[in-house]
Structure 1
Amino acid sequence: MDDETDGSLWRNVGFRRLFTGRLATNAGDSAYLIAALWLVFDLTGSSLYTGVAGFLIRGPRVLRVLAGPVVDRRPPHQILVWAQLLQGALVAVLAGTALLGELSVWLLLAVLPFVSGIEQFVSPAEKAVLPRLVDDERLVRANSLLSLAKSGTDVAFQAGSGVVLAVVGAASLFVFDAATFVLAAVLFAGVTVTSDTDDDTDPAETGDSLGDDGSSYGDRLRAGVGYIRGSRLVPFLLGAAAVNFGSGAMTAVLPELGAALGSASAFGTLMAALAASTLVGSVSATVFEDVPYGTVGVAAFLISGLSLAGAVAVSGLVGTAGLLFLAFVPVGVFNILFFSVIQSAADTEFVGRVSATVSSLTAATFPLGSLVGGAAAAVVGVDTLLYGYAGLLLLFGVGCLVDKGIRTLPPVTEADAETLGFGG
């Protein structure tokens, strides 16, 4: 780890490069997401197709668990570099086709899952490299800053991209995204770590399929899943899966809601409100690191459910966007603390696999929600669908309150593998 004697993460060169790379890639991703979802809706005029697009964007997240054993074996900073280069090449195809005036909804839908599939290696690699760059007592702060990099760029670029899209079209946004992938690859290339698993030995030369201990890919995958089976986080994972189903449905109907409120720029404003809520939640997370995590969970989802219901009830873009922002600030706090608990409590050799497994389990229902939400909106309407999601958030909050295993979870600063039941 780099010297942090002054107490500042910014003196840590590796973390600084990781943070800057995250800024670059998220700036492009924000523009890409707005362009892709709005363009699908614009080309088809149907929330059903935006639901399909949401499924194709989020669906590969279910497979993130498969990336865990790779991340825990190979140098994570190298995985970050190659992922950026491959994603940049795919987005460049969309940019070139758009510039030639040949971009179709079918090509767009075909490319979406490949870009997202490569992305599934990025988050586990980032979470695996972070504990090797910073001390345990700085993990919450470091995670908060990385989430800040993501949500901060989302706020600026999602709002701005809606306007740019309406003025100059999708091609410029795709060109911008491709360029940011290349920039991020250069920055990630400067992130170097030293660990027992981070060497230049080719597994094929040692006879290992993927592990330096002779274990196969399947063995390491099963070990990672078994490590969290029976832990106190399992009830939360099941509840989060249900909540993510509602998030998928909401994503599918936001373009239609934006169109009803104005235009592509209104859609960008709604997406920016969601990003801003994550931004504020990330910045605020450090305030709650000494608060019992179970208490944070109960409050977070009860507040979110009530606020989302209010966002649907009010009229006008300002009121809707404002309450939508308020609805997901608590969820942003909850998520930062959740992954900080994992990174702090899990054994180092399991961090990549546990992070990937948790991400897959909690994300599994999001793409299904996108499909169902896009189809259901045509039957029950956007407002009814969003009220249903608000009810789901409230139900999860009540569930956290009733379940003693979740309600009594300790603060992040006190969590360890034994307390959470990891490996049991």
Structure 2
Amino acid sequence: MKKIKPFMVERNFLILMTGVFINGLGSGIYSVAGMLLVFNLSGSVLYSGFAFFAITSAGALSFLIAPLANYARYKNGLVYSNLIKAIILFTIPLVHYTIGLNVWYVIILLFITALFTQYTYPIESTILPIIVGKDNVVEANSYLQTIREAMDIAFIAGAGIIITFIGTIPAISITAVCLVLVTISYAFFNFQQPDISREKSHSIGSAVNFYFIDLRAGFNYIRNSLVPKMIFSIVFINIAMVIMTTNLPAFSLIKGNGIEATYGFYLASISLGIMIGTIISPKLRQINFGKLIIITFIGTGIMWIGASTLPLIASMILFCIGAISIGVLNILVFSSIQKQVETAYIGRVITVITSAAALGMPLGSLLGGVLGETLSPEIPVMICGISMIIFSVFWLCSSVLRKLPGIDRVNLFKNSEMA
């Protein structure tokens, strides 16, 4: 029998796990209900594009928001930000049952709650080493990530069924209640937060100066590395993915003959594919990274082109298989960064990368909305599949990217000059 690791029964880790579990339930329902609510209020794929634009714009701003986590107690940041998100979401049913909802009101709230998520996510990542200790951080992080993705599959699929029976407004109320429960759970944290090594600022001006010093540090650290060369590829993938996901609510309703639960099933199939990619990625570490990406993303393109044309069941299966490459890419790149970047810079470097990668997503949201409104939702899904093949051809034509060795042997900072 496998022995339970001590950190798994540590009080603060159990609290974090409880919060992650409840958050998974709430966010699974919210991710389905929010987009369906926008689509139902507007009846237009174009407004779905506006909603995705709002959400992805918040992601693109994460490099500005994440450093703010260092200027408050971590526990207070988690507690109050989740409480504010709950209050914001409670206004949706309140407004709906009183003066009536406007689609733009919902889109603005989606943007604001996404901003708070960009603030809380780096805090959860930062407190993990404090809670479990540096020796256990990789194992604890892997354990949490697998649980998160497994819950995503169950909760997103379940969300589609729940919304079919109770509707989008009550479903969003469930998410708000979940956030209240997360707030209460995190209020019981008792870990010791280390002091931030910087001079105490006595003015707004000096605080702003420290903030921008932190911000520049992340950019300077990767400036001369291989990372910026790979960001373009990630931006291209994200644009293609958002063009597809913007149209997924309408696409799902077409494939499912108007059954709203189908949208949750499609999101769950993508999550399942990403989880499979996450699980198998350690076994692929020794394969040349360049060739691995070229082959897997050509497969993804073919699968998603097929998913756009085939009936419901076959379409969801191909969606799942095609998403495996996304999970592989995410884990291998993230693992490489964890191994090679100094501990003090990991949070900032990952934030810079994710923010840069998100820069193209607002454009993809608007483009996806226009394409879905002008043509039909199946066409943007097919375009996403074609884009994955184009991405593979780009890597194939680049000798630097094509010849990248196994991810453990890729030297991200070969040309960098670290102080």
TM-score range for the pair, normalised by the shorter chain length: 0.7 to 0.9
C-alpha spacing 1:385/1:206, structure 2 compared with 1 (3 Å): closer
**Match of residue 38, structure 1, among 36, 39, 42:** 36
1:28/1:180 contact within 8 Å kept: yes
C-alpha spacing 1:340/1:175, structure 2 compared with 1 (3 Å): same
**Match of residue 364, structure 1, among 359, 362, 366:** 359
One-letter amino acid of the counterpart of residue 167, structure 1: F
Cα shift at 1:333: 2.3
Taking the aligned partners of 2:402 and 2:13, their CA distance within structure 1 comes to 33
1:34/1:162 contact within 8 Å kept: yes
Aligned twin of 1:317: 312
**Match of residue 107, structure 1, among 105, 108, 111:** 105
| Deviating more after overlay: 219-228 vs 124-133 | 124-133
Taking the aligned partners of 1:11 and 1:413, their CA distance within structure 2 comes to 32
One-letter amino acid of the counterpart of residue 272, structure 2: A
Cα shift at 1:265: 1.5
Aligned twin of 1:26: 24
One-letter amino acid of the counterpart of residue 358, structure 2: A
Cα shift at 1:193: 5.4
1:281/1:333 contact within 8 Å kept: yes
Cα shift at 1:227: 1.2
Cα shift at 1:13: 4.6
Cα shift at 1:185: 2.6
Aligned twin of 1:326: 321
Structure 1 counterpart SS, 2:215: helix
Structure 2 counterpart SS, 1:121: helix
C-alpha spacing 1:187/1:396, structure 2 compared with 1 (3 Å): farther
Cα shift at 1:318: 0.5
One-letter amino acid of the counterpart of residue 152, structure 1: A
2:224/2:413 contact within 8 Å kept: no
| Deviating more after overlay: 258-267 vs 97-106 | 97-106
Structure 2 counterpart SS, 1:322: helix
Taking the aligned partners of 2:417 and 2:187, their CA distance within structure 1 comes to 33
1:345/1:415 contact within 8 Å kept: no
Please tell me whether residue 180 in structure 1 is matched to residue 182 in structure 2: no
Structure 2 counterpart SS, 1:102: coil
Aligned twin of 1:265: 261
C-alpha spacing 1:12/1:378, structure 2 compared with 1 (3 Å): same
| Deviating more after overlay: 44-53 vs 78-87 | 78-87
C-alpha spacing 1:208/1:275, structure 2 compared with 1 (3 Å): same
One-letter amino acid of the counterpart of residue 67, structure 2: P
| Deviating more after overlay: 23-32 vs 80-89 | 80-89
2:224/2:415 contact within 8 Å kept: no
1:249-283 CA-partner distances (Å, limit 9, x unpaired): 11111111112122211222112211222232333
| Deviating more after overlay: 402-411 vs 301-310 | 402-411
**Match of residue 236, structure 1, among 203, 222, 230:** 230
Taking the aligned partners of 1:148 and 1:420, their CA distance within structure 2 comes to 34
Taking the aligned partners of 1:422 and 1:269, their CA distance within structure 2 comes to 48
Structure 2 counterpart SS, 1:204: coil
Please tell me whether residue 336 in structure 1 is matched to residue 331 in structure 2: yes
Structure 1 unaligned segments of length 5 or more: list them: none
Cα shift at 1:47: 0.4
Aligned twin of 2:246: 252
Please tell me whether residue 279 in structure 1 is matched to residue 287 in structure 2: no
Cα shift at 1:386: 1.9
Structure 1 counterpart SS, 2:247: helix
Aligned twin of 2:15: 17
Aligned length: 415
One-letter amino acid of the counterpart of residue 395, structure 2: C
Taking the aligned partners of 1:375 and 1:301, their CA distance within structure 2 comes to 26
Taking the aligned partners of 1:420 and 1:157, their CA distance within structure 2 comes to 44
Aligned twin of 1:79: 77
Aligned twin of 1:376: 371
**TM-score of the pair, normalised by structure 1:** 0.86
Cα shift at 1:12: 5.0
C-alpha spacing 1:395/1:203, structure 2 compared with 1 (3 Å): farther
Aligned twin of 2:293: 297
**Match of residue 165, structure 1, among 163, 166, 188:** 163
2:74/2:193 contact within 8 Å kept: no
Structure 2 unaligned segments of length 5 or more: list them: none
Taking the aligned partners of 2:203 and 2:327, their CA distance within structure 1 comes to 43
One-letter amino acid of the counterpart of residue 257, structure 1: F
**Match of residue 221, structure 2, among 212, 227, 252:** 227
Structure 2 counterpart SS, 1:216: helix
Taking the aligned partners of 1:195 and 1:310, their CA distance within structure 2 comes to 51
1:108-131 CA-partner distances (Å, limit 9, x unpaired): 122111111111112222333334
Taking the aligned partners of 1:42 and 1:350, their CA distance within structure 2 comes to 43
Taking the aligned partners of 1:257 and 1:7, their CA distance within structure 2 comes to 44
2:19/2:185 contact within 8 Å kept: yes
Taking the aligned partners of 1:186 and 1:309, their CA distance within structure 2 comes to 45
**TM-score of the pair, normalised by structure 2:** 0.87
Cα shift at 1:369: 0.7
Cα shift at 1:327: 0.8
Aligned twin of 1:204: 201
Structure 2 counterpart SS, 1:231: coil
Aligned twin of 1:48: 46
Structure 2 counterpart SS, 1:103: coil
Give the % identical residues.
25
Structure 1 counterpart SS, 2:148: helix
C-alpha spacing 1:408/1:130, structure 2 compared with 1 (3 Å): farther
C-alpha spacing 1:180/1:415, structure 2 compared with 1 (3 Å): farther
Cα shift at 1:59: 1.4
Structure 2 counterpart SS, 1:120: helix
C-alpha spacing 1:422/1:122, structure 2 compared with 1 (3 Å): farther
Taking the aligned partners of 2:147 and 2:120, their CA distance within structure 1 comes to 15
Please tell me whether residue 345 in structure 1 is matched to residue 350 in structure 2: no
1:162/1:269 contact within 8 Å kept: yes
The CA RMSD measured in Å over matched residues stands at 3.1
